[in-house]
Amino acid sequence: MARVLVVQHRQPHSNWVSPNSSLLNSALSDFHGAAALNISIQKRRRKWQPKGAVEVRASASSKNILIMGGTRFIGVFLSRLLVKEGHQVTLFTRGKTPITQQLPGESDQDYADFSSKILHLKGDRQDFEFVKTNLAAKGFDVVYDINGREAAEVEPILDGLPKLEQYIYCSSAGVYLKSDILPHFETDAVDPKSRHKGKLETENLLDSRGVNWTSLRPVYIYGPLNYNPVEEWFFHRLKAGRPIPIPNSGNQLTQLGHVKDLARAFVIVLGNSKASRQVYNISGSKYVTFDGLAKACAKAAGFPEPEIVHYNPKEFDFGKKKAFPFRDQVPSFH
């Protein structure tokens, strides 16, 4: 499916200039072939243009990195990139699932090499005193917070690591206020009542504490190991030979990005001075309609064109269950 990763960059309190710069070739996040990862940068009345493409490569020095989470989806791919670049990586988890798992297509040797280098700190991030004490003892240089949801969960990490070099946070594009004008820029209005309000509060906390932080706001993520039924929802219905129920006209637009591209974006901001105290939207560069996504999934899996049934969600009571995996972000087009 998607093959290009687009990063839209926000520098606080600056004027929007919108220069575009190709940073690295990507082979995953675009619905129509390979293209480039782009970055739109806000600057005060000036443009920044890099001299040619920049490869994802190791930092000048190895960092002692903590990943909060890291065993389910995004962190699985991120940790591999960081280890490959020579960093010391520790995963903080409750230890309820295996610390590592072999990926499809990963050789036994590569998996063994990776597993031998990964460290583990077992604990519950809700135990704030444990987090503060144990992180202080380890003295990590960088924290990747993949599973943080509330600002209160971040404070003990900052308290335990007063000399932290960078805090890199996984936020969400779900923080924005609904709008008919897309795509969202990082300067767009946010929704303080959204179900992701804790992530907004975390970004505000990081800013108020004066730490060097970077926040990535992915749209919808897809790819191997995805535990959130985004693309999987369509494939299950296609495999079962069932119709695809889509709310309203099905012409609503959305964007997706591949988990491997998101992991690479997380690596790009590591130690990057231009990413200091910045927010980045992350997604594939192409729009796709809900109907188009159903058809793309069918094509990718070798199924015939699906039977799509449109419905008015206001006519049904789904209770607390999520009837469709995407936000009905914008009014349908006719």
Q: 216 forms bridges with which residues in the sheet?
A: 170, 280
3-class secondary-structure state, position 42: coil
CB 18 within 8 A of CB 50: no
- Greater pLDDT, 5 or 259: 259
3-class secondary-structure state, position 88: strand
DSSP string, 37-106: EEEE---SS-----SS-------SS--EEEEES-SSSHHHHHHHHHHHTT-EEEEEE-SSS-S--PPTT-
For residue range 146-179, what is the model confidence (pLDDT) as tens digits?
999 999 999 999 999 999 999 999 999 999 998 8
The H-or-E segment that residue 221 falls in is strand 220-222
State the Rg of the chain over Cα.
Answer: 20
* Percentage of the chain modeled with pLDDT above 90: 70
For residue range 278-303, what is the model confidence (pLDDT) as tens digits?
999 998 888 899 999 999 999 999 99
Residues 122, 124, 130, 136, CA torsion sign: positive
Whole-model pTM? 0.81
Torsion of CA 266, 10, 257, 264, to 10 degrees: -20
Strands 288-289 and 253-254: antiparallel
- HSE value, Cβ hemisphere, 13 Å, CA-based, for 16: 8
Residue 167: per-residue pLDDT: 98
Q: 20 forms bridges with which residues in the sheet?
A: 40
Nearest to residue 167, comparing CAs of 157, 180, 156, 179?
157
CA dist., res. 328 & res. 24, Å (int):
32
Strands 20-26 and 35-40: antiparallel
DSSP class of residue 246 equals: E
CA dist., res. 234 & res. 1, Å (int):
13
In this structure, which topology does domain 64-219+258-283 adopt according to CATH? Answer: Rossmann fold (3.40.50)
DSSP class of residue 190 equals: B
Residue 28: per-residue pLDDT: 59
Residue 276 to residues 166, 218, 272: CA-CA distances in angstroms?
Answer: 8, 18, 7
Residue 21, both tokens: 């710069």
pLDDT surpasses 70 at 105:
yes
Please classify residue 57 by burial: count the beta carbons closer than 10 Å to its beta carbon, then call 0-12 exposed, 13-18 middle and 19+ buried.
Answer: exposed
* Domain locations in the chain as residue ranges: 64-219+258-283
Residue 86: per-residue pLDDT: 97
pLDDT surpasses 80 at 91:
yes
Nearest to residue 296, comparing CAs of 226, 227, 222?
222
- Greater pLDDT, 234 or 334: 234
Residue 57: per-residue pLDDT: 44
Q: In the chain, where does DSSP find H-type helix?
A: 74-84, 108-117, 128-138, 155-160, 197-208, 231-239, 259-268, 290-301
Question: What's the mean pLDDT when you consider all of the chain?
Answer: 83
- pLDDT band, very low/low/confident/very high, at 107 (cuts 50, 70, 90): very high
Residue type (1 letter), 19: P
Residue 153, both tokens: 């969960």
Residue 228: per-residue pLDDT: 87
pLDDT surpasses 50 at 227:
yes
- pLDDT band, very low/low/confident/very high, at 119 (cuts 50, 70, 90): very high
- pLDDT band, very low/low/confident/very high, at 60 (cuts 50, 70, 90): low
DSSP class of residue 11 equals: -
pLDDT surpasses 80 at 9:
no
DSSP string, 305-324: PPPEEEE-GGG---TTS-SS
Average the pLDDT over 193-210 and give the result.
95
For residue range 297-326, what is the model confidence (pLDDT) as tens digits?
999 999 999 999 999 999 999 988 889 999
